Amino acid sequence: PPKTWTMAFGDWLDTQGGNPSVVVITPAMIEGSGLASFAARHQQRCFDVGIAEQHAVTFAGGLAAEGMRPVVAIYSTFLQRAWDQMIHDIALQNLPVLFAVDRAGLVGPDGATHAGSFDLAFGQAVPNLKIAVPADAADLHAVLDWGIAADSPVLVRYPRGECPADLGGEAARTPLGLRVRRRAEDPHQSLLVIALGSKVQTALNASADLAATVVDLRWAKPIDWPALLPLVQEHAGWMIIEEGSKLSSVGASMIAHTSELGLFKPVKHIALPDTFIEHGTRTECLADCGLDECSLNSTMSDFLRQVLPA
């Protein structure tokens, strides 16, 4: 059976067994966060602190200050409870803590309480924090490898559900760079579709029959502007697709930045609406928000007609 994102993270964690400075902390989510294998092999380096998210993050800060490499494995919705600790006990001191943030985006059956809608919004605002949004297992492992060796805090977000192994496309030019997953033949007659994380595969499928370049942002913070700006300039219009709240979003930051630069290209931004998303399957919830393949194909087609002269 295909692997889930949680399993892919667990696989990566197992590769860190030989590094004695790597320790894992989780607030009562050993099984749910994919830590069972690591915990069984390295009991002395895996700490389940119970339902105490604030303590989990501050504890990680203390370990990092003493030279350890803590990984905080936590669900997006539960990280909200420790935002203050993330700011004061980690980011302010620029401590190397790696946040492995599972269930980022819509979770479906668990309902509004468990949706990971806000980590991009609150994470972006925190100085010193870098945010990775990998699109497949290969890149999940790559950004985690980078994050565990970084000298500052790093947050890696990934959703519930199946994790594609490798979506292919062009390589990133730098460790913090974006990836062009599919390049249109004539950019001037095409859309630039910028997708984050789990939405990259959806964007590739939704735009398969359209004139579109699909960019996998890879890092929500910092954004790879040197690679991105020329792409925005040469395409007929651009679109941002993310599975996080539209208000205070990565897309909103990007649109603001290009506006300040005086770069005014037609743009469309698809993200989670300003409402709490109720129960349903993940598929149903994404469709309700216009973030499924079918809705996106329709939105892209309409937008392409709008930006291309008849």
Give the model confidence (pLDDT) of 180-189 as tens digits: 999 999 999 9
The CATH number linked to 188 is 3.40.50.920
pLDDT at residue number 111: 85
Q: Are residues 37 and 67 in the same domain?
A: yes
Structure pTM?
0.96
Average pLDDT estimate for 272-276: 94
Taking only the tens place, the pLDDT of each residue in 53-112 is 999 999 999 999 999 999 999 999 999 999 999 999 999 999 999 999 999 999 888 888
Considering the domain boundaries, does residue 58 fall inside one? yes
User: Is 38 domain-assigned?
Assistant: yes
- Please check whether residue 173 lies inside any domain of the structure: no
pLDDT above 80: residue 310: no
Instruction: Indicate the pLDDT class of residue 163, thresholds 50, 70 and 90.
Output: very high
Tokens representing 160 are 């519930």
Cα dihedral 282→288→294→297 (10° resolution): -120
Q: How many domains does the chain have?
A: 2
Domain boundary among the residues 103, 124, 157 is at: 157
Specify if 168 maps to a domain: no
Share of the chain above pLDDT 70, in %: 100
Q: Does residue 76 sit within a domain?
A: yes
- Dig out the tokens for 283 from the structure: 């598929």
Residue 220, domain member (yes or no): yes
Confidence of residue 1 (pLDDT cuts 50, 70, 90): confident
Check residue 120 and give its pLDDT: 97
The edge-to-edge listing of strands for the beta sheet with 46-48 is: 46-48, 22-26, 69-75, 98-102, 154-157, 130-133, 218-221
Q: How many residues does the chain have?
A: 310
CB 71 within 8 A of CB 32: no
Same domain, yes or no, for 200 and 136?
Answer: no
Mean pLDDT of the region 186-213: 98
In a domain, 170, yes or no: no
Domain of 33, in residue numbers: 5-157
Do 285 and 224 reside in the same domain of the chain?
Answer: yes
What is the pLDDT, as a whole number, of residue 132? Answer: 99
Looking at residue 132, its amino acid is A
- The reply to whether 302 falls in a domain is yes
Rg (CA), the chain: 19
- Please check whether residue 284 is in contact with residue 109, taking contact to mean a CB–CB distance below 8 angstroms: no
Specify the pLDDT at position 2.
85
Is residue 278 scored above 90 in pLDDT?
no
pLDDT of 309 strictly over 90: no
Residue 48 sits in a domain of what CATH number? 3.40.50.970
The reply to whether 20 and 151 lie within a common domain is: yes
